[in-house]
Structure 1
């Protein structure tokens, strides 16, 4: 792959992410308050405290915050233009999406943190916040020391902050690959279970954009003689 083709690929992936976020942002004003749905029907009531809608908003806001943090770290640890460009796209997009998720919680009059709510518990809830009798997140457990699936541990963040050059690029791409895989599983859960149309649209956009970035990061790792972690 030539450098110009590679840069076009990076630009296309980043543009797709931004367009997905803008689409969901536009839908927010029409549907996040439950007033109307894209098909003209009445949407669900304000989400309950432990509903998938509220749980996803709280958990994904935390999940996104770490992606932003890792992206700022690698920006200062390498001069590689493609990695810095990818990190910028991820930080910008996920910071914007995080703001949307927290804004919905404010709109719904719900807290951003619930002390007795285990991470990911919303994936086994129905729209009213009652247990649905299944474990939708089975097989996507967080690793020891990580809060949610795909998230890096404190030790891994420390390693990233201490690395430089190619080592920082490879570690960032590996950590972000894991992060995206966990994020895709969470977003797929919301796309299935959430009842707020704008939030479902945002979640589906996350799935598509992050799957595209997973392919891009696999290519970038190969270019650096590395591969995603098992």
Structure 2
């Protein structure tokens, strides 16, 4: 019986080396992140937005704007038994508190302070001068209006709340529209565009609710 022909030892060693090199290349290729892979951070820029950017200014200003809307909604929730108004207040509390948390979180991620010495809405090109009545930006209720809401009950509280929140939403939607068109980050553009849609829808709802109570915005 003839024995099988064995390849020379150097050829065997060369084949083993080639195999190991090929295996190593496969492992490196699998383990290396692709440069063409999309970022999962959700940001369209690798650098944080500038201190004077629309992104940072909007996040700061709208956080303050939202804070008052949440406060008004908590007040009216305890001043009326009307289920429709309480449901609207509950929706605004949840939606705007959540959005506010997102914006403050982005400021933290960007390394930007949550407050600034710059006047509100300067990022929009028309800074607001403080009036001293508690209304820090367009649409915000004054201290006197907030106190009146705390004193009223029933239908009077409902009408006042719906009127104040309608004005609040109109100004908020205008601010959000500006941010949706001028912000650099996808986070702010998407959030702002969603705010415009949501608040304009609630403005229509509140107009109907005011009409049901024999009042106008």
Task: Decide: shared fold, TM above 0.5.
Answer: yes
Which of 105, 108, 114 matches 2:107? 105
Shift of 1:46: 1.0
The superposition leaves residues 137-166 of structure 1 with CA deviations (integer Å, 9 ceiling, x where unpaired) of: 8xx999873110100000000000000000
TM-score, length-normalised on structure 1?
Answer: 0.73
Shift of 1:30: 2.8
Shift of 1:199: 1.1
1-side partners of 2:216 and 2:132: how far apart?
Answer: 22
| Aligned positions of 1:193-204 closer than 5 A | 193-204=182-193
2-side partners of 1:149 and 1:44: how far apart?
Answer: 33
Partner of 1:79: 81
Partner of 2:65: 63
| Aligned positions of 1:122-141 closer than 5 A | 122-124=123-125, 135=126
Which stretch shifts more, 144-153 or 164-173? 144-153
Which of 45, 48, 69 matches 2:47? 45
Q: State the structure with bigger RCO (CA 8 A, min sep 6), 1 or 2.
A: 1
2-side partners of 1:57 and 1:148: how far apart?
Answer: 14
The superposition leaves residues 44-66 of structure 1 with CA deviations (integer Å, 9 ceiling, x where unpaired) of: 63101111100000000000000
Shift of 1:198: 1.4
The superposition leaves residues 157-214 of structure 1 with CA deviations (integer Å, 9 ceiling, x where unpaired) of: 0000000000000000000000000100110010011100011000000000000000
Partner of 1:14: none
Whichever of the two has the greater Rg, that structure is 2
| Aligned positions of 1:1-230 closer than 5 A | 30-31=41-42, 34=43, 37=44, 43=45, 45-115=47-117, 117-124=118-125, 135=126, 145=133, 146-228=135-217
Asked whether the 8 Å contact 2:176–2:193 carries over to 1, the reply is yes
Asked whether the 8 Å contact 1:79–1:165 carries over to 2, the reply is yes
2-side partners of 1:83 and 1:142: how far apart?
Answer: 31
**Pairwise CA RMSD of aligned residues?**
1.8
Classify 1:215/1:142 alpha carbon distance in 2 versus 1 (closer, same or farther; 3 Å): farther
Partner of 1:131: none
The superposition leaves residues 18-75 of structure 1 with CA deviations (integer Å, 9 ceiling, x where unpaired) of: xxxxxxxxxxx632xx3xx4xxxxx363101111100000000000000000000000
**Long gaps (5+) in structure 1:** 1-28, 38-42, 125-134
Partner of 1:130: none
TM-score, length-normalised on structure 2?
Answer: 0.78
2-side partners of 1:217 and 1:95: how far apart?
Answer: 20
Runs of 4+ in 1 over 2 A off after TM superposition: 140-145
Partner of 2:4: none
**Long gaps (5+) in structure 2:** 1-39
